[in-house]
Amino acid sequence: MNGELKKKTDEELAAMVAGRATEAVCSELFARYERKIFLWCYNYMHDTEEAIDATQEIFIRIFRGIGGFAGRSAFSTWVYRIARNHCLGELAKTRHRFRTRTVPVDDRETLDCADGESARSMELGGDLDRLVGVARRVMRPEELDAFVLHYRDGLSVREVTRILGCGNVTGARTLIQNARRKFRRMIREGESGNERS
Percent above pLDDT 70 for the chain: 74
Provide the pLDDT for residue 192: 53
- For residue range 71-127, list pLDDT tens digits in order: 788 898 899 889 988 888 887 776 433 333 323 333 333 344 444 444 444 444 445
Query: What does the angle CA 151 – CA 154 – CA 160 come to, to the nearest 5 degrees?
Result: 85
Instruction: Give the distance from CA 97 to its chain's centroid.
Output: 19
- For residue range 159-190, list pLDDT tens digits in order: 888 888 888 888 888 998 988 888 888 877 76
Provide the pLDDT for residue 59: 93
Q: What is the mean pLDDT of the chain?
A: 76
Question: What letter represents residue 164's amino acid?
Answer: L
**Where residue 147 falls among pLDDT bands split at 50, 70, 90?**
confident
Q: What is the mean pLDDT of residues 38-66?
A: 88
Provide the pLDDT for residue 127: 58
**What is the 3-state secondary structure of the chain?**
CHHHHHHCCHHHHHHHHHHCCCHHHHHHHHHHHHHHHHHHHHHHHCCHHHHHHHHHHHHHHHHHHHHHCCCCCCHHHHHHHHHHHHHHHHHHHCCCCCCCCCCCCCCCCCCCCHHHHHHHHHHHCCCHHHHHHHHHHHCCHHHHHHHHHHHHCCCCHHHHHHHHCCCCHHHHHHHHHHHHHHHHHHHHHHHHHHHHC
